[in-house]
Amino acid sequence: MLSKIYKHYKKMTSLIFTWMVRRKLINLPKRLIVNGFSSVNSHTYIGDFSNLNGLKIHGVGEVRIGKYFHSGYDCLIISSNHNYKGASIPYDSTNISKPVSIGDFVWMGSKVIVLGGVNIGEGAIIQAGAVVIKDVPPLGIAGGNPAVTFAFRDKTHFEKMKTERNFF
């Protein structure tokens, strides 16, 4: 009995979390699933068939996330910086927009932080706990603080999975 209640609870919270994200997006993606509390800014685009598990997007910059994106728990994307060269210290009230672009089929592990101005290429994997401060190439596997690309997915296998439409 408890397992049925838990499944119902999970389904209801997912529907609420999905509604909360969809109402702020630029677009209306097909089959967006939000399994953990997530928040986005009003300059966010999320591709079809994406899964969010506690992704939070802060800042005023545009964030574009591709199709079939998967995030782990407690991920953070920061799309702007404070102006530390302004009229006040430590910074003034100006927000400097730093857009973020994430390609199709990207998988981010739990607790990843992506800073503004970063582009993450198609098919990239970002290791849990990574702090991404610079671009990650397509099919790159990156991790660490700061994140570095240390390996690549097999391109032939990746393209075969795309051609056969083997998507999760």
Q: Which of 8, 58, 70, 82 is catalytic?
A: 82
Q: Which of the four pLDDT bands, split at 50, 70 and 90, describes residue 4? A: confident
Question: What's the pLDDT score for residue 62?
Answer: 96
pLDDT at 78: 97
Q: Give this prediction's pTM.
A: 0.91
pLDDT confidence bin for 1, thresholds 50/70/90: low
Residue indicated by tokens 């998988």: 107
- The fold adopted by the segment(s) 2-163 is UDP N-Acetylglucosamine Acyltransferase; domain 1 (2.160.10)
Which whole number is the average pLDDT over 39-56? 95
The answer to whether 82 is a known catalytic residue is yes
